[in-house]
Amino acid sequence: MIINYTFNNYRSFCDDAEFSMTANAGKVLKRYPDNYSTLPGGLKLLKSAVMVGENAGGKSNFIYSLQFLKSLFQDNSVVKTVSSNINSNAGKDQESFDITFCVENGRIYHYCLTIDSRRIIAESLLYKNEINKKEQSVFEAYWDLETKAYHFEDSGIDEPVRNALRKNAGALGLFTTKLALLGNGYAIEAVNWMNNTLYPVSLTEGSLSVKQPSEQDIRILNDPGYLDIFRMVDYSICGITVDREQPFSKTVISRRRADGTTMDRELQYDSTGVREFFVWAIQIFRVVYENRVVFADEMDRVLNPVLSERVISFINGKTHCGQFIFSTHNVLHLDLKTYMKEQIYFVTKIRDSLNSELYSLSDFPEVRYETTKIYEFYMKGILGGTALE
């Protein structure tokens, strides 16, 4: 599960954008017993979060920053910034990513990366076995401008491995992925989490027709648990017949009429909302049944508020160690009956600089659970995240 994530100088974000999934330690936990998971050692992490903001405010860029970070773990290519990702107001070409997460065995990892248009500037991986313990270094590497070489500080790896890492240093791949290939158990766990647990997802109507199915997709689509999720979009649906070659167009959806008879229709001829939710339901399955961390960009752009509420209630109502974070324009999610303040985030674009800013509802101490009408605060521009003149 993700604990914290901070990044800066990425697209519309200039200064540090800080995001946390740590649950409030106060009495408010008793009001929302289903909204968080308790990990070994007592760490409490939120199961879901919603990100609200105006068009072009930066919500998608937040998701893209995670996609970019994950791509560095997947692709063994030269690690450097992409010019189109640099914030023009930052006055520098360095960008940083800092993420803390917990793997299935309870171990907590803290990964930091700073890169510029030429190379890795600094990279480190630390860990601790309990939340209250001191972090231990797996490795800490930085680029020395004077010697024009990489140096390792407080490293927990042997000198022969360091020498192996120095070969072609910065030319291909992250130090973490190289260390994993050399057999370091901590690096292997961290890389596996980034590649197999973190899912920053952005889907559009056009992308569905070209999406290639994976064996994992096919397995999920044939799981009875998937049908339970998919039926949230239309409870007359009673079954699906998955087409292995073209599951996102040729799969047959069966519905039961009031008289008991059934009607079959290929997915490609169904409504836009049904087609999109068919794909999104895979990600919801991953959260609940596979403990994945999914960041979904505007999942509910074609879904009505009732269906969105069903999805969140389903995720919160199940016992799991997955997380679902999604961006939305639907202000009906600004509801303190469903979410803690720590679960509601805003993204707004600062008018003067055009930089994006990310912050939580918990940053507003004047907001009270019992009395504050969040919707009214938001529409009046008090909480930001609206394109007001």
Q: Which domain holds residue 101?
A: 1-197+292-389
Phi, psi of 374 (to 5 degrees): -60, -40
pLDDT of residue 276: 87
| pLDDT above 70 coverage of the chain, percent | 92
pLDDT of residue 154: 64
- DSSP string covering 149-208, please? EEEE-S--S-HHHHHHHHTTTTTSS-HHHHHHHTT-HHHHHHHHHHHHTEEEEE--HHHH
Tell me the average pLDDT of the chain: 88
Does residue 152 sit in the same domain as residue 9?
yes
Residue 225: band (very low, low, confident or very high) from pLDDT cuts 50, 70, 90: very high
Does residue 223 sit in the same domain as residue 347?
no
| 284 in any annotated domain | yes
Q: Last residue of some domain: 256, 290, 324?
A: 290
Q: What's the pTM?
A: 0.92
| 298 in any annotated domain | yes
| 44 in any annotated domain | yes
Does residue 141 sit in the same domain as residue 253?
no
Q: Last residue of some domain: 232, 260, 290?
A: 290
Domain count, the chain: 2
Lowest mean pLDDT among 64-68, 326-330, 371-375: 371-375
| 202 in any annotated domain | no
pLDDT beyond 50 at 300: yes
Residue 26: band (very low, low, confident or very high) from pLDDT cuts 50, 70, 90: confident
Does residue 39 sit in the same domain as residue 9?
yes
Q: Last residue of some domain: 269, 290, 311?
A: 290
Does residue 152 sit in the same domain as residue 222?
no
Q: Residue 52's closest CA among 380, 375, 388?
A: 375
| 7 in any annotated domain | yes
Does residue 23 sit in the same domain as residue 147?
yes
Largest CA distance in the chain: 80
Q: Residue 169's closest CA among 232, 222, 123, 219?
A: 123
Neighbours of 85 (CB within 10 A): 14
pLDDT of residue 389: 42
pLDDT beyond 70 at 56: yes
Q: What CATH number is attached to the domain comprising 126? A: 3.40.50
